[in-house]
Amino acid sequence: MKLITAIVKPHRLDEIKEALQAFGVQGLTVTEASGYGRQRGHTEVYRGAEYTVDLVPKIRIEVLVEDDDAEQLIDVIVKAARTGKIGDGKVWSVPVETAVRVRTGERGPDAL
Amino acid sequence: MPPGILTLAAEEAPTLSAANTGFMLICSALVMLMTPGLAFFYGGMVRVKSTLNMLMMSFISLGIVTILWVLYGFSIAFGTDIGSVVGWSSDYVGFGGIGRDQLWDGYTIPVFVFAAFQLMFAIITPALISGALADRVKFSAWALFIALWVTVVYFPVAHWVWGSGGWLFEMGVIDFAGGTAVHINAGAAALGVILVIGKRVGFKKDPMRPHSLPLVMLGAGLLWFGWFGFNAGSWLGNDDGVGAVMFLNTQVATAAAMLAWLAYEKIRHGACTTLGAASGAVAGLVAITPAGGSCSPLGAIAIGAVAGLVCAMAVGLKYKFGYDDSLDVVGVHLVGGVIGSLLVGFFATGGVQSDAKGLFYGGGFDQLVKQAIGVFSVLAYSLIVSAVLAFVLHKTIGMRVSEDDEISGIDQGEHAETAYDFSGAGGGAASRKTVPAPTETAAAAQKTKKVDA
């Protein structure tokens, strides 16, 4: 199993959700996040005083998938998240040792 | 204020005008609304963790000053003159000797209505100071400061400027609705206090962005609205159109100042900001306050535009000189008040509020010199006395909250409250802690009952 994590622009969430559903993903977790990449946020001006806001609002999406689906799913997310502008975010995957469905106690791929 | 408020004796005994009385009661209510408006104007500009304290620093003025005004404030400001410096009339103490339909010579509104109108000015003036002290002043020390400050600074200065026999009033200084007595007075006091108490922790290092510009806009809107009462009401009636001139000039100057501030920002920083629009409007309102009864609408545009531009430049001074005027009370109220008061010396047309003419209308330097004396005497008095008051409080009960409280948030430290509940996580724990006692007892009682049965 793999855990796919995507940090993306908040307004892309609906597109990504739709793409994941079309792909057949059963569930996902979404968290509000903030951070910066190479662009390092933006500058705001209040009565002439400039403030650098380097932590920009982001959405963190997490999905557990079987190994064979991982690469394809990453492509699906990347495609749905992309605007072509700076700050589009990142997607990565990590191996997952085990997963348990709390209600039934099923383990491994059955728990997905 | 109209000239000769207590001195002009009418040829016939004045009669109470229901229209003027009604008008002035509405104006008084409008000016009252400015203080909560100011609270929101300031409250939106501070960080989340000190919102409530900022609101409270204005709100408490409504309580303290109202009571002092009745006890002795009105007597000091508008009682019988003593040496051109203060007033005193025992009839006014506690308002005990004033009849409900009592009038002053030449005026058609009850003394009570005048006292109520003037009370609202006395309330908002110390509230204005609080913007410079954001995030760091003990609430108890602030409350005491307000009480002392209005007693030794505001009440006497109101007498100098508006009271019959007051030395600036007698000299012919024009301060229609309070550029000197309210704005320069508050701005100079703010400067005096912050020089004593120092900067916020993290000033110039930590970001201190306004937490809610919509609140700032709401506050600015309420101020603008209430200011019509502040300015147009300062003629104490509407028999002869002076109040109408003032009303129009208030609108015109405010609009010009907002546009000037935004233009400056667009050129200097590349964007017209919301805070700039709100600040420009307030700068215009401040500047037209002393001047609007004596200038033409075109003059009001000029006064507003100058104020908008100069105040926009002035708010940066705190970073240059390193004093922490948190919400720019000096940059907007002191600078705006000085501009408006001095520009009376240029733009007074004569024949509206008074016959005095400014430099641009053939009056020479005479009025300008008088205005400058008014400006700098009030500025110096307020600055010095406020600094001394703050110093005494700072050395005795302490003016500042602990550094821990300041960093973790003055709302929690001073008021045991926070303005917003952003998260349910952890928020219920403390309240639950206080509840179990009765529940446990009830459960225990029930248990015992069962055993007994």
Whole-angstrom distance, CA of residue B101 vs CA of residue B333: 36
Q: Give the model's confidence band at B10: pLDDT under 50 very low, under 70 low, under 90 confident, else very high.
A: very low
A interface toward B at CB cutoff 8 Å? 44-53
Q: Which of B203, B215, B269, B327 has the most A C-beta neighbours within 10 Å, making it the best mutation to test the interface with A? A: B269
Going by C-alpha positions, the residue among A17, A76, A45, A68 that lies closest to residue B312 is: A45
Q: What is the DSSP secondary structure assignment for residue B50, as one 8-state letter?
A: G
Average pLDDT of span B379-390: 98
pLDDT higher than 50, residue B435: no
Going by C-alpha positions, the residue among B292, B214, B290, B216 that lies closest to residue B252 is: B292
The answer to whether B323 touches B126, Cβ cutoff 8 Å, is: no
pLDDT higher than 90, residue B204: no
Report the pLDDT value the prediction gives residue B14, as an integer from 0 to 100: 80
Amino acid at residue number A85: K
Average pLDDT, chain A: 91
How far, CA to CA in Å, does B285 sit from each of B28, B31, B256, B264, B322?
17, 13, 10, 18, 27
B120-148 tens-digit pLDDT: 999 999 999 999 999 999 999 999 999 99
Q: Do B269 and A48 touch (CB under 8 A)?
A: yes
Whole-angstrom distance, CA of residue B139 vs CA of residue B128: 15
Whole-angstrom distance, CA of residue B135 vs CA of residue B137: 7
> In this structure, how many other beta carbons lie within 10 angstroms of the beta carbon of residue B136?
23
Residue B144 class from Cβ within 10 Å (0-12 exposed, 13-18 middle, 19+ buried)? middle
Residues in A closer than 8 angstroms to B276, CB to CB, are 47
Going by C-alpha positions, the residue among B75, B121, B106, B94 that lies closest to residue B6 is: B106
Q: Does B269 touch chain A (CB under 8 A)?
A: yes
Whole-angstrom distance, CA of residue B190 vs CA of residue A37: 42
Nearest to A46 among B268, B273, B331 (CB): B273
Residues in A closer than 8 angstroms to B312, CB to CB, are 47-48
Report the pLDDT value the prediction gives residue A60, as an integer from 0 to 100: 96
Report the pLDDT value the prediction gives residue B169, as an integer from 0 to 100: 95
Q: Give the model's confidence band at B8: pLDDT under 50 very low, under 70 low, under 90 confident, else very high.
A: very low
Residues in A closer than 8 angstroms to B279, CB to CB, are 47
Looking at A78-92, B255-269, B423-437, which range is the least confident one?
A: B423-437
Report the pLDDT value the prediction gives residue B241, as an integer from 0 to 100: 87
Looking at B216-225, B295-304, B357-366, which range is the least confident one?
A: B357-366
Amino acid at residue number A25: V
A92's CB contacts (< 8 A; 6+ apart) are A4, A5
Q: Do A48 and B316 touch (CB under 8 A)?
A: yes
* Pairing between β-strand A42-46 and β-strand A29-35 as defined by DSSP bridges: unpaired
Q: Do A48 and B209 touch (CB under 8 A)?
A: no
The runs of H, that is alpha helices, within B163-273 are: 167-171, 185-197, 213-232, 242-269
Q: Does B266 touch chain A (CB under 8 A)?
A: no
Average pLDDT of span B320-325: 94
Nearest to A47 among B207, B271, B279 (CB): B279
Q: Do A51 and B207 touch (CB under 8 A)?
A: yes
Average pLDDT of span B174-184: 95
Whole-angstrom distance, CA of residue B202 vs CA of residue B205: 5
Q: Output B1 or A18, whichever has higher pLDDT.
A: A18
Q: Give the model's confidence band at B12: pLDDT under 50 very low, under 70 low, under 90 confident, else very high.
A: low
CA B99 to chain centre: 29
- Percent of chain B's residues with pLDDT above 90: 83
The runs of H, that is alpha helices, within B233-273 are: 242-269
Q: Output B284 or B432, whichever has higher pLDDT.
A: B284
> In this structure, how many other beta carbons lie within 10 angstroms of the beta carbon of residue B323?
17
Average pLDDT of span B89-110: 93
Average pLDDT, chain B: 91
Q: What are phi and psi of B249, to 5 degrees?
A: -60, -35
Q: Give the model's confidence band at A39: pLDDT under 50 very low, under 70 low, under 90 confident, else very high.
A: confident
pLDDT higher than 60, residue B451: no
Q: Which of A44, A46, A53, A54 has the most B C-beta neighbours within 10 Å, making it the best mutation to test the interface with B? A: A46
pLDDT higher than 90, residue B98: yes
pLDDT higher than 60, residue B450: no
Residues in A closer than 8 angstroms to B322, CB to CB, are none
Whole-angstrom distance, CA of residue B135 vs CA of residue B132: 9
Strand partners, B330: none
Q: What are phi and psi of A7, to 5 degrees?
A: -105, 115
Going by C-alpha positions, the residue among B185, B206, B172, B236 that lies closest to residue B370 is: B172
pLDDT higher than 70, residue B453: no
Task: Tally the residues of chain B.
Answer: 453
Residues in B closer than 8 angstroms to A45, CB to CB, are 265, 269, 271, 273
Amino acid at residue number B310: V
Report the pLDDT value the prediction gives residue B307, as an integer from 0 to 100: 98
Q: Give the model's confidence band at B93: pLDDT under 50 very low, under 70 low, under 90 confident, else very high.
A: very high
pLDDT higher than 60, residue B67: yes
Q: Which two tokens stand for residue B284?
A: 């215009």
Task: Provide the edge-to-edge strand list for the sheet that holds A89-95.
Answer: A29-35, A56-65, A2-8, A89-95
Residues in A closer than 8 angstroms to B269, CB to CB, are 45, 48, 50
Report the pLDDT value the prediction gives residue B442, as an integer from 0 to 100: 52
Q: Do A45 and B315 touch (CB under 8 A)?
A: no
Q: Give the model's confidence band at B424: pLDDT under 50 very low, under 70 low, under 90 confident, else very high.
A: low
Give chain B's count of helices (H) and strands (E).
Answer: 20, 2
Task: Tally the residues of chain A.
Answer: 112
Nearest to B273 among A45, A52, A53 (CB): A45
Q: Which two tokens stand for residue B244?
A: 């109408």
pLDDT higher than 80, residue B77: yes
